[in-house]
Each structure stands twice: as structure tokens, then as C-alpha cells.
Chains A and B, each alone.
Chain A
């Protein structure tokens, strides 16, 4: 027969175990909901199952002469030297945002050619190139 002390200890261990399981499940679940996938314009064109209306990231180079601006927002074209996508953004652009520079935009796809960004990622080093974009350039520019 188990003593009262042992019983309460077993109960305690089971509770701790259940709680950590629950916590872990909770973490993983919200993690899956909040992942942002990164795609290049080409990947957006090619992929069949690209989700519209779900937050994601798009990156590439800002096309030369493509930046247009009015009182509400900025529009520009991002290219990976194969395909292009138009991005619209209302907000402050980071200081290194310029034509022919790498850029990563976070937001939602409205259709395969149009992306509405709610964040343009900042980086504070003029030599910096987001690793995702480095890869794109390595692939497409020889």
C-alpha cells in the first residue's frame, strides 16, 4: 500500500508532466500559426499552393526606376532577375531602402503579382545582404 506521502508525490509528478506537455503543445501550436515563410518572386509564380491572405515574406532587389510614391503609400517592384512582383507599402522605409538594393518585405499576397507589405525590414549595415537574397543572387546572377 502506498503511503500518503508517496501518493501525493506521484500526483505531483503527473501534474507537472501534464502541465509541461500542455505548455509544449501550446508553444508548438502558436509557433506554427506565426511562422513567416520566405519566398522569392519566382517561387510565388511557380508554387501552386501559395497561401493568399496569410502573412509571409518576399525578398529580392528593388528594381531600378520602379519606386513610385504618393501621399498614402510607396509602390515598388521587387525582382529576383527572373520574375517580378509589385509591392505596396504604407509606412516608413528603413534607411537603406533604395533602388538596386536588397529588400525583405513582410505582409500578405493579394494575388500572384501584387503584395501588400506591412513591414519593410531594416538593416543597418550598408554591406548587409539578407542571406535569403544572397542565395537568390547567387542562383540567378552569374
Chain B
């Protein structure tokens, strides 16, 4: 039943897509400013049906309708209600339907909100967006249909992977999808802009808000994923340079570069072709990331079961996208004159773009090199985290300096004398850095540089805040918050990295272990039964010998029944100054438990500063047109 409704809806969306492309291309020939009412109507219908199809699938999950293969494979009757719903997008097919939803909704919203722009440009955008919609719909129907039915109908589902049954991970995919798939609209707009010769300032204004929206959601999505990895995976860290994390970083670098250069296009009407390249590559990188992860070429924590046929389809589609983008780009490319003064805001924004490009290339090479080597020489290698750390971290040093002083320059040519102030703040940063060394201990030259530049950036941002309070110039606020957030993030990650305490050891129940000034007493284990899992809970008495402070930590080993899986729940005691982190795992046929104990200074501040970066973006979204 639901299967038929779902498939009919998907086919309706497909037909509407064709109709929109057809009527829009007819409308292209008619001069005038207004787009035919028909196209609005068709687009509204398309959006309604898409949302309905998604709700159909959600209803299937809520009712545990196992006549749908997708529900059967990814849900279970005993699953809590919230995770039944989250299960809808916790699998490949369902998340693809969410993907299509965002493509369609953004297409309609763009049509409605772009009415001040040229007709031809808007029509082309809608046409390209619908070509994308078609591509993904055909993929969905042929290869990954969430509405495929199964007969005879099973009585019980296979269940959702327990590590996905977590609030952070329930909201993580929708956030990332709005971020990544949201890029599609300015991919289409960039193509349309090339074809309709609608460039420059007005193009920048037409895509500005879409870029901001997807940037905010991407940033937030990546942070939520990282928080999840911290407390759910039990590895004790928050960033692993895992292929999936890298795949999410690639479009983020491109879009961050785009966010900055778009300002240049809007204010100075230059860098148009560079902005177009960034628009195109952001979405292409999003699809590449999806392709690598879903096809199983890259292995990582994500468990979308891999299927080579998926990979081939996405690869063909991707090649078509890149190919047509290149053809249109080079046939329309004209020479553009750039003449920037060194002491201008434009130059610094361009520098930001170079850094972003460097980071992007580094991560891309680190990600793709093992694949190439495997194909060429059949040698199996992997690129470890040290590679990314060695290449990227030193570059963060000059990056932060430019990030601090760049915004001080004005457009075209700066006359202000800021040299003295920079010197003063640099001196302040060095003194604070020496203070940290004096109080907490030494670290390497590179760490010194990282700390100094991070503090330099933070001090600059504080001065900006002071200026903001006296002047109330709202346009500066989002930038200040995001830049300050970045400075704080690097600073706290540095502190965390330098002064973490980490120990792995094995303990039996009743044993005691001493680490520095902590005494860990493994007192007992208890069991607990919950709706869809059983848990073994360890009771650890942690004594801080210095302060004579006693705390109890209770990590869990959860045994989920459907599907049968073990997960380890870390016990985390968060304080303003540090996190205490303890996980336990059992080792088969042994009384020993594997314990990981960590004291991580300023962990909470890493999250807060990362969130600040995203918050800056959201504030910028709320600014009115004339304030931006």
C-alpha cells in the first residue's frame, strides 16, 4: 500500500520535473520580466508531492510497515519512537529521498525569492536545478528506491544500527544535507548566470543568502558529527582525519572561500569567474564526497552498506555534471581585469581563498592518493593523521595572522596606519604565551607559534568587539564572532592537545590503578535492562589525590538485540576547566576490562568556540539587506 503511494508520488515528481523544464524553456523565448504563473504552480505541486513522499516514508517507519524493504532492513518495533523517525534518513535510500527533498524545496524557494532578478537567469537556474532533480530521481528509482516492497511481509525488522540511535546523530544528517545539497542551488545559478550573461553584483546578491544558509548548516553539521564521535565512538578524540570527515571538509573549504570572495564580487564587482568556479566546485565536491562514501571506495565509521552499482551511477552522473560545467564555463569565459592594491581588503580575502585552496588540495590528495595507488600498483596503503597535521597546522599560523589583520583594511586602498597596533597586540600575544609556558610547561616551536597567532587573533577580535559596542555597526558583528570563534578553537585545541592526560590499561573488578594524581578504583559492575538494549554498567571511584575529591564515573557496555551489536558509552564528567573521560570495554573470555581514561582540559570550550563560528553565520543571515 505505502509502497504504491510512495512510488506514484516519486513518478509524479519526475513528470513535474520534465514539465517544469519544458515550460521554462518555452518561457525563455518570451520577453518581459514576469515568469509564467504556470511554472510557480508546477513547482509548488512538485514541492508538495516531494514532502508528501517523505512523510509517506516516515509513516512507514512509525507504523513499522515491513512491507517496505527499507523499513524492514532499518527499523524494529521495539525501537523508541524518536529513532523510528530518525531511522528514515539513517540509511542510504531514505537519505537519498531527503536529498531530493532539499533539491526540490530549494528550487521552489529560489523561484519565489529571486523575483527582483532577471527572468532569463531565474528560468535557467530552475531548469538546471530540475536536471539535477531528474538525475537523482532516476538514481533513486532505478537503484535505491526506498519504497520497494517485499513479499511475504516479515514480522519483525532488522533494526537500526545502535550507534546511530543517538540524538546528535539523528539531527546530524539533516543538518549536513541542508548544507551540502543546499549548494546545488548556486551550482544551478552559476550555470544559469554563465548562460544568461547575468553576472556581477546582481548575481552575487541573488545567491548570497543561499551561500550563507548552506555554510551555516554545513558548519553546524560537521560540529554535531564531531561531538557525536567524541562521546559515542569511545576513541577519546573529536577529529580523526577519517575519510568521511575529510569528505565533509572538502566542500566546506570551498564554500568558506566562496563566502569571502562573494563579498568582493558584491562590493567591488570583480572576481566573477573565480566565484563561479567556487560555486560549481562546492556542489561537485559535495557529490564527490557522497560518491566516495556511498560506493564503499573509502572505508570509515559510516556504515551505509557499500554497493558498487551505486558508485557507477553516481560516477557517471558526476562526470556529466563536471563535463557540462567545464564546457559552459570555458565557452563563456572572458578575460577579467584584476588590479588589486596590496593594502586592500580584496587582497586579504583573496589570500583567504588561497589558503582554503591549499587546505582543500591537501585533504583531497591525502584522501585520493591511496585509491590511486591501489588502482595503479595494487599496493594497499593508508594516509595517517600525521600527514594532515604536518601539512595543515603550520599553515594555520600565517592564516590566523591574516585573518586578524585582513578585516582592518578598507576596500580599494587602505590609508589607515595600523602597524603600531599590530606590533602591540603581537607583543601582548607573546607575553600571554610565555605566561602559559611558565604556568603549565613547555611545548614545541610550532605550538608556540600556533598559540601566539591564535592569541593575536583573539586579542584583535576583542578590540573589534570593543569598537562594536561603541559604534553599533551591525555588519561587523558576524565576522567578529566567527573569527573570534576560530581563534578560540585553535587555541583550545592547542591547549587540549598539549596538556591532555591519557592512559589505556586493563582492570579486573575490584582492582585499583594509580595515574599521576588520580586513583581509579573499579568497584563493581551492575546490569540494567532498557527497552531495546541491556547494559553492563561499571562503577568507577575516581579519587583526585591532590584535592581529595571523589567522583564516580559510570561507563556502559550496551548490548543491543536488534541487530545484535555492542556499543560503548563513555562516562564523561564535564567541567568548565576540563573533561574527565572514561570508557570500558570487555575482552572476550577474560575477567579483564579494557579501560581508557583521559583528562582533557577545556573540552567544552572547543565545542563552544566551534559553535561560535556557526553562530556568526546565523547572525549574518538575520541581518537585513541594508545592514549587510
Q: Are A57 and B594 in contact (CB-based, < 8 A)?
A: no
Minimum Cβ distance to chain A for residue B428 (Å): 30
Query: Which chain B residue has the least Cβ–Cβ distance from A98?
Result: B588
In whole angstroms, how far apart are the Cα atoms of A131 and B375 in the complex? 14
Q: Return chain A residues, CB-CB under 8 Å to B303.
A: 124-125, 128
Given contacts A31-B365, A34-B386, are A71 and B507 in contact (CB under 8 A)?
yes
> In the complex the two chains form, is A95's CB within 8 Å of B568's CB?
yes
Q: Do the beta carbons of A34 and B588 come within 8 Å of each other?
A: no
Q: Mark A110-132, 1 if CB is under 8 A from B, else 0.
A: 00000000000011111110111
Interchain CB contact (< 8 A) of A74 among B361, B513, B587 = B587
Could you tell me if A73 and B391 are in contact, using CB atoms closer than 8 angstroms? Answer: no
Across the interface, which residues of B come within 8 angstroms of A37, CB to CB? 379-381
Answer whether residue A14 sits at the interface, using C-beta atoms and an 8 A cutoff: no
Check A91 for interface membership: any CB of B closer than 8 A.
Answer: yes
List residues of chain A with CB within 8 A of the CB of B365.
27-28, 31
- Does A67 touch B at the CB level, under 8 Å? yes
In the assembled complex, how far is the CB of residue A23 from the closest CB belonging to chain B, in whole angstroms? 6
Roughly how many angstroms separate A126 CA and B506 CA in the complex, as a whole number? 24
Interface residues of B in 373-400 (CB under 8 A from A): 379-384, 386-387, 390-391
A72 at the interface (CB under 8 A from B): yes
A108–B122 Cα gap in the complex (Å)? 59
Most buried by B among A5, A70, A71: A71
A-to-B contact residues, CB < 8 Å: 5, 23, 26-28, 30-31, 33-38, 55, 57, 67, 69-74, 90-99, 106, 122-128, 130-132
Pick the interface stretch among B16-24, B106-114, B486-494, B559-567: B559-567
Q: Which residues of B contact A73 (CB under 8 A)?
A: 506
C-alpha gap A34/B388 in the complex (Å): 9
**Interface class of chain B by DSSP:** mixed
Query: Closest CB-CB distance, A6 to chain B, in whole Å?
Result: 12
- Jot down 28 A-B pairs with beta carbons below 8 A, ordered by A: A26-B391, A27-B362, A27-B365, A28-B365, A30-B387, A31-B365, A33-B386, A34-B384, A35-B381, A35-B382, A35-B383, A36-B383, A55-B384, A67-B588, A71-B506, A71-B592, A74-B506, A91-B504, A92-B594, A92-B595, A94-B585, A122-B301, A123-B299, A124-B163, A125-B161, A125-B303, A125-B305, A132-B380
Interface residues of B (CB under 8 A from A): 161, 163, 233-235, 299, 301, 303, 305, 339, 358, 361-362, 365-366, 369, 379-384, 386-387, 390-391, 504-507, 511, 513, 563-568, 583, 585, 587-590, 592, 594-596
> How far, in whole Å, are A92 and B595 apart by their CA atoms in the complex?
6
Which residues in B have their C-beta under 8 angstroms from that of A106? 384
Give Cα A48–Cα B366 distance, bound, in whole angstroms.
28
Complex Cα gap A57–B235 (Å): 19
Nearest residue, chain A, Cβ from B511:
A71
Structural contact, B587 and A67, CB atoms closer than 8 A: yes
Q: Which of A27, A38, A70 has the most CB of B within 10 A?
A: A27
Can you name the residue of chain A whose Cβ is closest to the Cβ of B563? Answer: A126
* Chain B residue nearest in CB terms to A39: B380
The 8 Å CB contact of B590, one of A67, A72, A91, A125, is A67
Q: Which A residues are CB-close (under 8 A) to B590?
A: 67, 69
Interfacial chain A residues near B390, Cβ < 8 Å:
30, 33-34
Q: What is the CA–CA distance of A121 and B507 in the complex, to the nearest angstrom?
A: 22
Q: Are B387 and A92 in contact (CB under 8 A)?
A: no
B595: chain A residues within 8 A (beta carbon): 92
> B384, B567, B596: which contacts A91 (Cβ < 8 A)?
B596
CB contacts (< 8 Å) of A131 on chain B: these are 299
Among B358, B380, B504, B566, contact of A92 (Cβ-Cβ < 8 Å): B504
Rounded to whole angstroms, the CA-CA distance of A55 and B386 in the bound complex is: 11
Write the nearest CB–CB distance from A135 to chain B, whole angstroms: 8
Contact yes or no, A34 B383, CB < 8 A: yes
Whether A31 and B387, one on each chain, are in contact in the complex, defined by CB atoms closer than 8 angstroms, is yes
- The residue in chain A whose Cβ has the minimal distance to the Cβ of B235 is A122
CB-based nearest A residue for B568: A95
Who on chain A is nearest to B387 by CB? A34
Q: Please name the residue on chain B nearest to A96 by beta carbon.
A: B566
A36: chain B residues at CB < 8 Å are 381-384
A75 CA / B564 CA spacing, docked (Å)? 26
B305 A127 Cβ-Cβ under 8 A = yes
A92 with B585, Cβ < 8 A, contacts A23-B358, A31-B387, A124-B161 known: yes
| Min CB–CB distance B154 → chain A (angstroms) | 18
Which residues of A lie under 8 Å from residue B369 when comparing CB positions? 31, 35
Q: Which residues on A sit within 8 Å (CB–CB) of B511? A: 71
Which residues from A are CB-within-8-Å of B594? Answer: 74, 91-93
Q: Which of B361, B380, B506, B567 contacts A38 (CB 8 A)?
A: B380
Query: In the complex, how many angstroms separate the beta carbon of A93 from the nearest chain B beta carbon?
Result: 6
B504 pairs with A90, CB closer than 8 A? yes
Cα of A23 to Cα of B361 in the assembled complex, Å: 10
**Which residue among A26, A93, A95 has the maximum number of chain B CB atoms within 10 Å of its CB?**
A95
- In the complex, chain B residues whose CB is within 8 Å of the CB of A23: 358, 361
